[in-house]
Structure 1
């Protein structure tokens, strides 16, 4: 079936659409109010709709797919490359329309359950950031009064009662109370973070895919839940190598005149999941009792950081293989195509 390709630049109130009429060849670029967006496509034949993978794109993609349309979510950096002139809604819609026709890996359309898991991850990251900010603020304020403490949370909790007791006779009571409240807020954040992790643990127990990849060395609660939710459909990737490249765990290439130079990792794709995989690989290298012959040979030939990224790459490929083929993880498994 030949689908009419439509580029949609979504926004809060006004959506901009760009397409070419298949019968007349007329180039149409028109704005549509948010309330009439779904109604417009409900009255059209099935289309291939391209959108930037930005806020709200997953919601619109699910609704449009329910109507029988195909949706391609395009990374913003990829779509931006086709906007060569002024930056406005009409030009953005045209750039998205062009990018939709270009070959490239699109962002997976996720279910509401998968998005809910990713939302929990984002909330947890935000609370960890708030906790770190409060610790640094508390430590910095006390430094102004000659009280210096270690950087760790344990050092702060050990020193703060004595510090506040010593300063109580010198500083106003309102400041001491505020400092004590800020210290108590850290414990509240600890409880909130632990509660989010408990909810993720419950989801991991109920989801078969998460349980399978959690058996992979270096893959824990956060990596397993984030990988399943971020990947969407594993069959969207042709191989584990493509999934690892999508995460940015492969060398970046620079070449000219037939000579190609490999640089550091490309760092494309989802930063959060890539970070979790690298940390998991670091734990495998540092704490594994039986790392295996491949890891031992790798660490002898390459720098430690290079070995960590190589292990993270292998972990990503293993995750894809387990999910795509529906098999359980086997430590000594050897691929038949190797």
Structure 2
């Protein structure tokens, strides 16, 4: 019928729904919200939606695995067995710890602790299975392979970025995309004076849920010999460096996807004439 279809985030529509909630009020709220400046939800392919679901399920498994490890640490500490930090050290120390506890504690408790510890291996297998399916998608997707060449962008970052962005050309610039991802400071002010604060809680949750940019930026600040990163470390706190690098990487990801080109080391963008 000649209409342009847009998907509006529910949080943008809710402020226009005043008092009673019914079909007529919802339709009016949507009509008002769609006329406001802002970015609609990107229309994604079925594979992109499936990849987002895989990321969500993987996140739940990793969270549950961490909870189970911390629970085992706490229970063992109650009986005098304090484990070293780190999953590898825990795996090396827990068999001997359970052996010592078996000499003075009921077998029912020891058997349950062993079952909980063995259950972590099953969680590892499930997480590895999801990552294996992500790698299979990466092999056949041109966009994922393109941004995987960016330093610091790995499997999780690349697949999550492509699945979330949808169509990168919806954003007019890399700066606009970085703002959409939540990598901008919170602002307050009036009378023409604007004060910049830290990254808001909503933006932090968005970045964590996206799982791209921040994770990769953190790893890159620890391992990369990038002169820009090293100079930033001397001038700014670590958290500021991480967010700044995440912002820079988000803009690079947008440029690679929007312009459909491969990543080039040392590339300098120029304004069109």
TM-score by length of 2: 0.90
2:212 counterpart residue number:
276
1:260 counterpart residue number:
194
2:40 counterpart residue number:
106
- Shift of the 285–279 alpha-carbon distance from structure 1 to 2, 3 Å rule, reads same
The partner residue of 1:85 within 3, 13, 19 is 19
Instruction: Assess if the C-alpha contact under 8 Å between 2:207 and 2:214 holds in 1.
Output: no
1:249 counterpart residue number:
183
* Deviation of the 1:94 alpha carbon: 3.4
Instruction: Assess if the C-alpha contact under 8 Å between 1:254 and 1:260 holds in 2.
Output: yes
Q: Deviations over 1:35-89 (max 9, x none)?
A: xxxxxxxxxxx486xxxxxxxxxxxxxxxxxxxxx43222232222223324566
Report the Cα distance in structure 1 between the residues aligned to 2:210 and 2:187, rounded to whole angstroms: 19
1:287 counterpart residue number:
223
2:120 counterpart residue number:
186
Instruction: Assess if the C-alpha contact under 8 Å between 1:227 and 1:273 holds in 2.
Output: no
- Shift of the 160–302 alpha-carbon distance from structure 1 to 2, 3 Å rule, reads closer
The partner residue of 2:66 within 111, 125, 132 is 132
- Shift of the 300–137 alpha-carbon distance from structure 1 to 2, 3 Å rule, reads closer
Unaligned 5+ residue runs, structure 1? 1-45, 49-69
* Deviation of the 1:235 alpha carbon: 1.0
1:36 counterpart residue number:
none
Provide the secondary structure at the position in 2 that maps to 1:255: strand
Provide the secondary structure at the position in 2 that maps to 1:310: helix
Instruction: Assess if the C-alpha contact under 8 Å between 1:110 and 1:229 holds in 2.
Output: yes
Report the Cα distance in structure 2 between the residues aligned to 1:146 and 1:302, rounded to whole angstroms: 42
* Deviation of the 1:274 alpha carbon: 5.2
Structure number having the greater helix percentage = 2
* Deviation of the 1:192 alpha carbon: 1.4
2:159 counterpart residue number:
225
The answer to which structure, 1 or 2, has the higher relative contact order (CA under 8 A, 6+ apart) is: 2
Report the Cα distance in structure 1 between the residues aligned to 2:99 and 2:142, rounded to whole angstroms: 52
Report the Cα distance in structure 2 between the residues aligned to 1:270 and 1:115, rounded to whole angstroms: 17
* Deviation of the 1:155 alpha carbon: 2.9
Q: How many residues align?
A: 270
Report the Cα distance in structure 1 between the residues aligned to 2:241 and 2:85, rounded to whole angstroms: 29
* Deviation of the 1:329 alpha carbon: 0.4
1:15-94 → structure 2 map (5 Å cutoff): 46=1, 70-86=4-20, 91-94=25-28
Q: Deviations over 1:252-301 (max 9, x none)?
A: 22120111111123454843365531221122222113x03x33443343
Provide the secondary structure at the position in 2 that maps to 1:101: coil
Unaligned 5+ residue runs, structure 2? none
Instruction: Assess if the C-alpha contact under 8 Å between 2:157 and 2:211 holds in 1.
Output: no
Which range moved further: 135-144 or 312-321? 135-144
Provide the secondary structure at the position in 2 that maps to 1:205: helix
1:199 counterpart residue number:
133
Report the Cα distance in structure 1 between the residues aligned to 2:9 and 2:69, rounded to whole angstroms: 36
2:75 counterpart residue number:
141
